[in-house]
Each structure stands twice: as C-alpha cells, then as structure tokens.
C-alpha cells in the first residue's frame, strides 16, 4: 500500500480522529522518498503496521469526590510501537482527552523516542479527568483509581509512563505509590518520580531546557546569538516554566506566557523573580496567569494566544494546534525567524507550510521537545543500575542528545539550496530507525 493510500485507509477505518490523521499525514508527507527507495517496505505493509497502534487499553475510572459523590472518567493507554524498546510515553489528564488525541501523541512519541538515541518504544495514556479546581485529596484518589486498572499493563521492561499535561511530580508520585503496592516491586516503572524515590535530577527541567538547547543548535547554523532576542512563550506549566528559566539565564527576553484562559504581555521581560512568582502561582496555588498581570501591572489578554505580539523567536509550550495559519502569518509579519516547539504538534499543517515557505528556522516538537523523554530514558537507566547521577552529568547528557538529534535533522533534512527542513529531517531519521528495527524482527 502506498503512503497516501494508508492515510485514506486510516480515515475510513478510524473516522472522527482528526488529530491522529493530522500527525500521520505530516509524517507520511515527508518520508515518501526513502520509502520508495525500499521496495521491501511495501511488501511487508510496513507503513500500515507502523501507523496502527500495537494495542489500546481503555477502562472506566471510578473515584469519590470531596462531597462523597461517586464520579467516573475514561482511562486509556495506547501502546503504539515497541520495535526499539519498551513502550514509553506520558500520561495526560485533561477534559479534552480522547482516543484521537492519545493516538496522535503515541504515534509522535514513537518517532521522537527513536530520535533520542535511547532504546524506547512509543506510547501515551491519559484520562478525560480535569484536574482544574480539584483538591489535593481528589487528585490522589483519582490517581490511585486510575492505576488500579493501568498497573497490569505496565512494567519496567514493558511500558513506562511519565507526565504530560495535567500530570507532574505530584501525580506521578501518587500513581507510582499505588503501582508499587499492587505490583509488589520497586523497579521504577514511571519516570518523573520524586528525587527521594528514584527520580532523576534535571527531569523536571529537561523538556524546557532541551528545547532551548535545540534552539541554540539551530541558531548556531546561522551564527545568531540568543542574547537580547525577544521570545514569546505560550503555556505556564512544566515545559513553559523551564523554557523561560533557561532563556533568562542566557540573556534572552521573554515577553509572554499563557494558560488556557489567556496570556500576559510583559514588555520589560519576565525576570528570575517574576518567574519564581509564576512557579509558585502555578505549582503551589494552582492559580491563573491573569494574577501575574494584576501583580505586575502588565497587559492581560483573555481568550487569546500570544502570537500577535512582536518577537524574534516563538516557543509554543502549551498544547496541540495552538498556532494556526493566521497566527503563523502574524509571527512572520512581525519578523519572527525561529519557532521551536515545546508542545506536541502545536502548529497546524497550514502554519507549518507558512514557516517552511518562509524558510525560517522551524523545529517540530518531536525533535525540539525530545529532551523530556530523553531524561526519562536516563532515569530508567539509573533505576536499572540502582544509582543516581549528578545534575551536571544528566545535563551534559541532555545537551549531547539534543545536539545528536539536531545532527540527525541536518543529515536527513538539508535541501539542495542549503535550507534545513527539520520536519523532514526528524521524520525521516525517526522513521528509518523504527522501520529497520521492525523489518529485522519479522512480521508481527
């Protein structure tokens, strides 16, 4: 079956899954050349096998809220592909979670994990549970209930979950605690754990730092210095916070952050002290970004995203499809010359087309945000060895991995005119490794 026929087939067999179709379409659109160079792929129906997840678990999660009311949510785990290592990928708790979103994320994760150089397959899980407004006790009861179903499908050498939207250190702790009780083992199944019980230093920072390290690699190809560059960041969660932290230490000026209600614009730039305030606001009090604008007397724009603000560099770090064609055109019109994605699939296909047409530095999430899962891989190694590495060691390995991913993008994505198409580079590099591993292991 040809690549475009596979997409039509997926749309027929799995209708109403637009995010899944979008992610598959982006990858298939860039690998045609290498696919055609390998006629053996077609005979073994490789693309179809690579696009359809190995298996999907779905289950009801029943929990009790603080008023004593019994509530239900749906829980899922999509085990996409384990050709190069155990299934690996985060858990998302958000009201919008459905199978289309988790299938797109698990598909992307497979190629991202392939790029990291570490032996990890791709997976994703989650629930349509919304943590917003829930008490700590409700979060704990929900995490425990979720794991009473999930635990039988995961393990240190089979499937290792971690965090994603709505799941951070607190939630991973509650899930891991319940997992250990049920599985009667202490082998580190889950990454992003607390430092006291097997977590890795630099894991909380890894996605944001890694994205900035990738950006630095891209800027280096053009001889551009990050210092004094104006950066717009979206989101104010884990990825956004550590992206901003690293940018500040490098002397860049971050002028925006956001949450699902709106964004703040601080023309003086978010400094260390203001970032500390945001971290406390978001991680401790679970407040809204609007409160930053009230405290520091800056502009708050409700119900909007920050892409209309003038910047040199944009780093979307909230969610999928948060930059549409109009946003991309606004960024370009304002002189933005680099976009590096902390979130997964934040740019719509139309936005990606605009960036590539304008030939700016554009790094897709599966390359730029791979630092998070990379340090998760390093956490797995430390757990297996029953030891832990210093921050400096982990940070250096993270830098090396991001440089390696950048190198792979250059190798497979450099066009005849010298422009680097990082989308193609990342997709081809990620795809070829998984494809070769699948071919070598027979028809499964």
The entry of ligand 2IT, ligand NDP, none that residue 319 binds, CB within 5 to 8 Å by partner kind: ligand NDP
**CB nearer to ligand 2IT: pick between 239 and 252:** 239
| The length of the chain, given as a count of residues | 444
82 binds ligand NDP (CB under 6 A): no
Options 241, 317, 344, 348; binder of ligand 2IT; rule CB under 6 A: 344
Options 85, 126, 198, 342; binder of ligand NDP; rule CB under 6 A: 342
260 binds ligand NDP (CB under 6 A): yes
Spatial contact of 349 and 26, defined as CB atoms under 8 Å apart: yes
**CB nearer to ligand NDP: pick between 75 and 210:** 210
- Which string of DSSP letters, residue by residue, matches 24-57? HHHHHHHHHHHHHT-HHHHHTTHHHHHHS-SEEE
Q: How far apart are CA 79 and CA 41, in angstroms?
A: 22
364 binds ligand 2IT (CB under 6 A): no
**What token pair was written down for 205?**
């920072």
Pairing type for strands 159-162 and 70-81 reads unpaired
**What token pair was written down for 159?**
């499937």
Mask: binding to ligand NDP, 143-182, rule CB under 6 A, as x and -?
--------------------xxxx-x--------------
**CB nearer to ligand NDP: pick between 41 and 242:** 242
First to last CA, the chain: 17
100 binds ligand NDP (CB under 6 A): no
The entry of ligand NDP, ligand 2IT, none that residue 317 binds, CB within 5 to 8 Å by partner kind: ligand NDP
- Considering only residues 353 to 372 of the shown chain, the ones binding ligand NDP according to CB under 6 A are 369, 372
CB neighbours of residue 261 within 10 Å: 12
Mask: binding to ligand 2IT, 80-109, rule CB under 6 A, as x and -?
--------xxx------------------x
If you search the block for the tokens 């990858």, which residue do you land on? Answer: 27
**What token pair was written down for 206?**
């890894």
Q: Residues 174-179: contacts with CB within 8 Å, 24+ apart?
A: 174/139, 174/140, 174/143, 174/144, 175/91, 175/143, 175/144, 175/146, 175/147, 175/150, 177/144, 178/143, 178/144, 178/147, 178/148, 178/151, 179/147, 179/150, 179/151, 179/154
Residue closest to ligand NDP when measured from CB atoms? 237
Options 79, 238, 256, 340; binder of ligand NDP; rule CB under 6 A: 238
The entry of ligand NDP, ligand 2IT, none that residue 175 binds, CB within 5 to 8 Å by partner kind: none
Cβ-proximal residues to 363 (8 Å cutoff; 6+ apart), any chain: 214, 215, 218, 339, 340, 341, 409, 422
173 binds ligand 2IT (CB under 6 A): no
Shortest spacing between CB 346 and ligand 2IT, in angstroms: 12
Shortest spacing between CB 242 and ligand NDP, in angstroms: 9
237 binds ligand NDP (CB under 6 A): yes
Burial class (CB within 10 angstroms; exposed 0-12, middle 13-18, buried 19+) of 130:
middle
SS3 161: strand
Shortest spacing between CB 95 and ligand NDP, in angstroms: 9
Shortest spacing between CB 365 and ligand 2IT, in angstroms: 8
- Which string of DSSP letters, residue by residue, matches 230-258? EEEE---SHHHHHHHHHHHHTT-EEEEEE
Give the range of 368-376, 391-399, 402-410, 411-419 binding ligand 2IT by CB under 6 A.
368-376
Q: Which of 114, 200, 117 is nearest to 383 (CA)?
A: 200
Shortest spacing between CB 31 and ligand 2IT, in angstroms: 21
235 binds ligand NDP (CB under 6 A): yes
CA distances from 108 to 66, 90, 102, 299, 403 (A): 37, 12, 10, 35, 20
Is position 253 annotated as part of the catalytic site? no
The entry of ligand 2IT, ligand NDP, none that residue 343 binds, CB within 5 to 8 Å by partner kind: ligand NDP
Q: Considering 103, 124, 246, 282, which one is annotated as catalytic?
A: 124
Query: Which residues contact ligand NDP by CB under 6 A?
Result: 94, 163-166, 168, 207, 235-240, 259-261, 317-319, 342-344, 369, 372
Residues annotated as catalytic are: 124
């Amino acid at each position: 079956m040809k690549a475009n026929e596979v997409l039509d087939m997926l749309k027929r067999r799995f209708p109403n899954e637009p995010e899944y179709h979008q992610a598959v379409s982006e990858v298939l659109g860039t690998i045609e050349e290498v696919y055609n160079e390998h006629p053996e792929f077609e005979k073994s129906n490789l693309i179809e096998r690579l696009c359809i997840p190995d298996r999907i678990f779905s289950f009801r999660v029943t929990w009790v809220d603080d008023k004593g009311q019994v509530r239900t949510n749906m829980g899922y785990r999509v085990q996409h592909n384990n050709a190069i290592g155990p299934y690996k990928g985060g858990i998302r708790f958000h009201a919008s979670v459905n199978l289309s979103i988790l299938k797109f994320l698990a598909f992307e994760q497979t190629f991202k994990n392939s790029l990291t150089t570490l032996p990890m397959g791709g997976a994703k899980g989650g629930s349509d549970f919304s943590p917003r407004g829930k008490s700590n006790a409700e979060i704990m009861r929900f995490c425990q209930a979720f794991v009473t179903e999930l635990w039988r499908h995961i393990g240190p050498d089979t499937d290792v979950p971690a965090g994603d939207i709505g799941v951070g250190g607190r939630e991973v702790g509650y899930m891991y605690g319940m997992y250990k009780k049920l599985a009667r083992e202490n082998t580190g199944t889950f990454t992003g754990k607390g430092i006291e019980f097997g977590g890795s230093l630099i894991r909380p920072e890894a996605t944001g730092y890694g994205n900035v390290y990738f950006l630095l690699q891209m800027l280096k190809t053009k001889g551009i210095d990050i210092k004094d560059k104006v950066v717009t960041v979206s989101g104010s969660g884990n990825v956004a916070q550590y992206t901003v932290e690293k940018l500040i230490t490098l002397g860049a000026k971050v002028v925006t952050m956001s949450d699902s209600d709106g964004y703040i614009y601080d023309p003086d730039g978010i400094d260390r002290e203001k970032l500390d305030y945001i971290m406390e606001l978001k991680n401790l009090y679970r407040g809204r970004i609007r409160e930053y604008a009230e405290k520091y007397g800056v502009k708050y724009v409700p119900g909007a995203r920050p892409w209309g603000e003038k910047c040199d560099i944009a780093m979307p770090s909230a969610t999928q499809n948060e930059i549409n064609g109009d946003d991309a055109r606004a960024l370009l019109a304002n002189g933005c010359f680099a976009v590096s994605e902390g979130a997964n699939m934040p740019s719509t296909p139309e936005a990606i087309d605009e960036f590539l047409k304008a030939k700016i530095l554009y790094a897709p999430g599966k390359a730029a945000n791979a630092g998070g899962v990379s340090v998760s891989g390093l956490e797995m190694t430390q757990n297996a060895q029953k030891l832990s590495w210093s921050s400096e060691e982990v940070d250096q390995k993270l830098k090396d991995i991001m440089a390696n991913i950048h190198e792979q993008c250059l190798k497979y994505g450099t066009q005849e005119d010298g422009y680097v198409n990082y989308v193609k580079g990342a997709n081809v590099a990620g795809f070829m490794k998984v494809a070769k591993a699948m071919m070598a292991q027979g028809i499964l």
